[in-house]
């Protein structure tokens, strides 16, 4: 075990986060996301039994968001006409705001099928047991600067 590292971050996930470079992307996928088929060219890490929000909070403690793009955090947009509420997005906004001064301004949306195409290019897809709909979230890695711990 390590001090200061959230216990939810497994050794495999920590190693993967360390391997990622500037502008690499990761997807934290909900339980309905086709992680294995989308992740054929990426690493897929199973985190069944965990939710997306708890993983997002843990990852952002060690993972810098890209400051060279307007929205380093992307949500899968709700399909037009789909009567789905997305209360988990407010949780995401609160979590991102704790770790990035841009707050909700760092979050954008990508149309569902475009999100799938972007996910195919991700470095890693983290498959969770999240039951909330449209809970998929993509993060783009930034750089660690000298004054960051």
Q: Is 101 a catalytic residue?
A: no
Residue 141 carries which DSSP code? B
66, 92, 100, 134: the active-site residue: 66
Gap between the Cα atoms of 105 and 96, Å rounded: 9
24, 82, 100, 116: the active-site residue: 116
Q: Is 50 a catalytic residue?
A: no
Q: Is 66 a catalytic residue?
A: yes
**92-96 long-range Cβ contacts below 8 angstroms, 24+ apart:** 92/53, 92/56, 92/137, 95/53, 95/56, 95/57, 95/60, 96/56, 96/60, 96/65
Task: Enumerate the active-site residues.
Answer: 22, 66, 116
């Amino acid at each position: 075990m390590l001090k200061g590292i959230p216990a939810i971050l497994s050794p495999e996930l920590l190693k993967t986060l360390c391997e990622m470079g500037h502008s690499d992307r990761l997807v934290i996928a909900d339980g309905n996301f086709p992680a294995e088929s989308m992740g054929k060219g990426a690493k897929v890490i199973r985190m069944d039994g965990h939710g997306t929000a708890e993983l997002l909070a843990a990852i952002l403690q060690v993972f810098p968001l890209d400051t060279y793009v307007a929205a380093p955090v992307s949500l899968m947009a709700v399909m037009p006409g789909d009567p789905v509420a997305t209360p988990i997005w407010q949780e995401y906004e609160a979590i991102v705001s704790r770790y990035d001064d841009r707050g909700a301004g760092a979050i954008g949306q990508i149309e569902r099928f475009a999100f799938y195409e972007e996910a195919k290019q991700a470095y890693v897809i983290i498959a969770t047991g999240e039951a909330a709909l449209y809970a998929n979230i993509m993060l783009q890695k930034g750089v660690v600067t000298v004054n960051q711990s």
